[in-house]
Chain A
Amino acid sequence: MKAMKRNRIAITGLGIFSAAGRDLPSFRKSLLAGRSAIGPIDLFDVASFPSGIGAQVRGYDPLDYFTARRAAKMSRVDQFGVIAAGEALRDSRVSEHYSPYDIGISLGAGASGMLQAEEWLRVSLTGKRGDPSLLRGLLPDRTATSIAESYNLCGYQVSITTACSSSASSIGWGADLVATGRVKAALCGGSDCLSLLTFAGFNSLKVVDPSPCSPFSLGRQGISLGEGAAFLVLEDEAEAKKRAAPIYGYLLGYAVAGEAYHMTAPDTGGADAARVMSDALRYAGVSPLEVGWVNAHGTGTPLNDAVESRAVKLVFGERAPLVPLVSTKGLTGHCLGAAGCIEAMATVVSLNEGTIPQTLNFRGADPECDLDYCHAGALPSAATLALSNSFAFGGNITTLVIESGREPS
């Protein structure tokens, strides 16, 4: 494998809509304050599950953002996506500079309109006729279409569906779209929302923690689910500078691979996760010595966190204890299809703020997780480069290499 010479890909727009903040300023505030968004869920009945909590966007009223007619045509996931994408596009102002055919969408999807579709199924099973409009957003590609229609984006469109690594992959692929000249600007990210299917499903696998998730802690019992959407706008650095666009950072490289091991369990040695991180660094053309910290997949399941810790040791060797491995899922919950992008955004914001975010909800030190996880609090950092990891059902792994947009001091 060789690294190809490629132009630097700049991040020129950010947008987010999540339980931890409904726009970039409020998300930034929650991130820096270490304020968890995990709490009781009232989106559907959770009484029959051991855990009734998650990071829900509570009190969300679509009419605060859309006309009733427009809202009725979109699922909750589509709406979240359109809101977050709008913030990123307005921020970058790419639509004022490029033809609609030169702006593409690379979206990471998850459960999509399942929340509505499962209501259709529930009603249909009673022998009654379910409201057909509940099925409109079922397919994961619908969110990209809604965004394209909302903002008149006519370039390339794709939806990547690799479960919890979807939106991290969408960012890597978005960078490729720009690097190859296929588009001048790529709107990349993901949107996902809580649904009975995913909530019940993860509970059935007994991987949902009844308390807010506590990644890398002793006694952790699993994930806390979340929901939200986040988008980055990517452009060629030279083009972005030519039009005086804001530059929040750079996507220096990425890698994707399959572990080819098991549908739900990672290979315990962490060798493949380490391989993907190392490949991402190689594609980015940077050395492990340049990496300041890693935004972990860090779900809070006993196995994931131990394996990810092992993988980080394989990549960084003796320096591993000096490279904090932090998880922001205690803040945002595990947002599945949107997790990778929300975490990439947390990484960009933190790099620019000169901080390494805290891993929340510490319960005690786990001997299997013996690195620095910033459990005690956020750390000031001069690092300009961080990795963001995403792992998924199926053994899909994606790592992004993100550089700060800050000018070196």
Chain B
Amino acid sequence: MNSAYHDTVITGLAAISTAGVGIDPLRAALERGTSLLAPVPEGVLAGGPHFWGKADAFRAADFMTPLKARKFDRCSLFAVVAAGMALKDAGIVQGSCDPARIGIVLGCGFGGINNAEEFLRGFFSSGAEGMVPMLFPNIVPNASASNASIEHKLKGPNLTTIQRFCSAESALLLALRFLEEDRADIILTGGVDEVTPTILKGFSALGQLRSFGSGFSEGAGILVLERGDHARRRKARILAGVGGVRTIGRLAPGASQEGINRLLPEPCEADLVALSGTAHLARELLDRLPAAPRLDTGEILGRSLAMGGLSMASLVLRLAPGDRGLYLAASPEGPWYAIDWYGGDPVQS
């Protein structure tokens, strides 16, 4: 089912990806349009070539003391730093808004898995004596969003979602609703993910390394989502507006057309189409898309469960004021998302 436009806008962006740290490296990578995936070292995973998208340019020490960085797992580091960058980009200074009116809702795929692995390795190798208690709190997938909330004093709605390759889009839908219902004025949303050698070994064991696990990547894409009236009142720069969100969980056997019709009702128009997750493989949906330029961020940065944060940020960067964007995200077994976007301030254009 569609949702009406509720004047929700984007006032800030942040990106950490294989392209680098910040929005400018992402913008440059989108302009080049070539894949930034790198070969997985043979020592990490044999039988290649395999490719992954590590955010190698990211160094926690550029943003915090080593002592502080030790508190966080890698996903939390991404989220803490990207949340700070997004708030700054939106012109939101700590203390300028009521903390209870700023929330964070992030999609997160493999967050915490590395801590879980390290904790269990200690136990398996040395028993109870080998357990490192400080690893445990950050095994939870919400560690990224919650650590970011703690660091930036965000006391509004705080949730973490996962639904395969649409984890970040799932987060966006919750964030939109929280703003629409006036549970917050501003919500940081998007996705954060990490890729580790063991994750690739897991994909390999499951035989998915050349399908859904191919070109797996990491990083964070965060969008500052804000009610339009609030943004205009504080004279924020408005980058884009979010329109209707249509989603289905899966295509019903024997009734897939009904699902496609709900997701992409005709006429389907846009100036720019963005694909995320495994939408590039969803032939039955691709045929329904308008003949407009396409942007598949995954081809450039790689794919991850919460890649939607980077994909949505990329779409916002590429939409000119007044343009209409159509964003399609998919996962192998569902869900599917179709989201309408408007370049610039949709109220003024």
Chain A residues proximal to chain B, CB less than 8 Å: 1-2, 4, 48-49, 99-101, 104-105, 109, 114, 118, 120-122, 124-125, 129-130, 132, 135-136, 138-141, 144-145, 148-149, 152-163, 169, 173, 176, 180-183, 196-197, 200-205, 255-264, 272, 275, 279, 283, 392-396
With A154-B250, A155-B248, A182-B3 known as contacts, the answer to whether A200 contacts B119 (CB < 8 A) is: yes
Closest to B138 in A: A263
- CB pair B150–A395 under 8 Å, yes or no, is yes
In the complex, which of the residues A109, A257, A262 contacts B156, with contact meaning CB atoms closer than 8 Å?
A257
- CB pair B140–A260 under 8 Å, yes or no, is no
Q: Tell me how far the C-beta of A251 lies from the nearest C-beta in chain B, rounded to whole angstroms.
A: 15
- CB pair B159–A169 under 8 Å, yes or no, is yes
A260 to B292, CA, bound (A): 43
- CB pair A48–B128 under 8 Å, yes or no, is yes
A396 to B143, CA, bound (A): 10
In the complex, which of the residues A2, A101, A153, A161 contacts B182, with contact meaning CB atoms closer than 8 Å?
A2
Asked if B149 is at the interface of the complex by the 8 Å CB criterion, the answer is yes
Q: Which of A140, A205, A261 has the most C-beta atoms of chain B within 10 angstroms of its own C-beta?
A: A140
Asked if B251 is at the interface of the complex by the 8 Å CB criterion, the answer is yes
- CB pair B123–A200 under 8 Å, yes or no, is yes
7 CB-based A-B contacts, threshold 8 Å: A4-B181, A101-B248, A118-B120, A125-B124, A157-B335, A200-B123, A258-B158
- CB pair A201–B249 under 8 Å, yes or no, is no
A136 to B333, CA, bound (A): 13
With A100-B252, A139-B109, A182-B3 known as contacts, the answer to whether A394 contacts B159 (CB < 8 A) is: no
Interface hits, B165-211 → A, CB 8 Å: 167, 170, 173-174, 177, 181-183, 198, 201-202, 205-207
Chain A neighbourhood of B125, CB < 8 A: 125
Spot the interface stretch: B10-18, B129-137, B268-276: B129-137
With A104-B249, A205-B133 known as contacts, the answer to whether A122 contacts B124 (CB < 8 A) is: yes
A196 to B136, CA, bound (A): 12
- CB pair A260–B249 under 8 Å, yes or no, is no
- CB pair A121–B124 under 8 Å, yes or no, is yes
Chain A neighbourhood of B347, CB < 8 A: none
With A161-B142, A182-B1, A201-B139 known as contacts, the answer to whether A105 contacts B249 (CB < 8 A) is: yes
Spot the interface stretch: B27-35, B85-93, B226-234, B254-262: B254-262
In the complex, which of the residues B146, B161, B305, B333 contacts A393, with contact meaning CB atoms closer than 8 Å?
B146
- Which 4 pairs from chain A and chain B are nearest by CB? A394-B146, A258-B158, A157-B249, A201-B136
**Chain A contact residues: helix, strand, loop or mixed:** mixed
- CB pair B163–A257 under 8 Å, yes or no, is no
- CB pair B163–A158 under 8 Å, yes or no, is yes
A125 to B174, CA, bound (A): 39
Closest to B206 in A: A132
- CB pair B206–A258 under 8 Å, yes or no, is no
For the complex with contacts A129-B205, A260-B99, 11 further pairs of A-B residues with Cβ separation under 8 Å are A141-B163, A154-B250, A159-B163, A160-B159, A161-B161, A173-B174, A201-B119, A204-B132, A258-B150, A263-B147, A395-B146
Q: Tell me how far the C-beta of B198 lies from the nearest C-beta in chain A, rounded to whole angstroms.
A: 8
A403 to B3, CA, bound (A): 28
Chain A neighbourhood of B259, CB < 8 A: 101, 154
Q: Tell me how far the C-beta of A132 lies from the nearest C-beta in chain B, rounded to whole angstroms.
A: 4
- CB pair A158–B156 under 8 Å, yes or no, is no
Asked if B108 is at the interface of the complex by the 8 Å CB criterion, the answer is yes
A302 to B152, CA, bound (A): 28
With A101-B252, A200-B131, A201-B119 known as contacts, the answer to whether A157 contacts B163 (CB < 8 A) is: yes
Q: Tell me how far the C-beta of B59 lies from the nearest C-beta in chain A, rounded to whole angstroms.
A: 23
- CB pair A205–B136 under 8 Å, yes or no, is yes
Chain B neighbourhood of A120, CB < 8 A: 202, 205
Chain B neighbourhood of A257, CB < 8 A: 100, 103, 155-158
Closest to B333 in A: A145
Q: Tell me how far the C-beta of A236 lies from the nearest C-beta in chain B, rounded to whole angstroms.
A: 13
Closest to A205 in B: B133
- CB pair B251–A160 under 8 Å, yes or no, is no
A196 to B127, CA, bound (A): 12
- CB pair B121–A162 under 8 Å, yes or no, is no
Asked if B145 is at the interface of the complex by the 8 Å CB criterion, the answer is yes
- CB pair A156–B149 under 8 Å, yes or no, is no
- CB pair B116–A260 under 8 Å, yes or no, is no
Asked if B162 is at the interface of the complex by the 8 Å CB criterion, the answer is yes
Q: Which of B116, B121, B158, B334 has the most C-beta atoms of chain A within 10 angstroms of its own C-beta?
A: B158
- CB pair A260–B120 under 8 Å, yes or no, is no
In the complex, which of the residues A139, A161, A169, A393 contacts B137, with contact meaning CB atoms closer than 8 Å?
A393
A153 to B259, CA, bound (A): 12
In the complex, which of the residues A156, A161, A395 contacts B141, with contact meaning CB atoms closer than 8 Å?
A161
In the complex, which of the residues A129, A135, A155, A161 contacts B206, with contact meaning CB atoms closer than 8 Å?
A135
- CB pair A180–B177 under 8 Å, yes or no, is yes
Q: Tell me how far the C-beta of A169 lies from the nearest C-beta in chain B, rounded to whole angstroms.
A: 6
A162 to B162, CA, bound (A): 10
Chain B neighbourhood of A204, CB < 8 A: 119, 128, 131-133, 136
- CB pair B142–A264 under 8 Å, yes or no, is no
A180 to B244, CA, bound (A): 13
Closest to B250 in A: A154
With A125-B125, A156-B335 known as contacts, the answer to whether A161 contacts B248 (CB < 8 A) is: no
Asked if B153 is at the interface of the complex by the 8 Å CB criterion, the answer is yes
Chain A neighbourhood of B247, CB < 8 A: 156, 182
A145 to B249, CA, bound (A): 9
A139 to B267, CA, bound (A): 36
- CB pair B142–A393 under 8 Å, yes or no, is yes
A392 to B112, CA, bound (A): 15
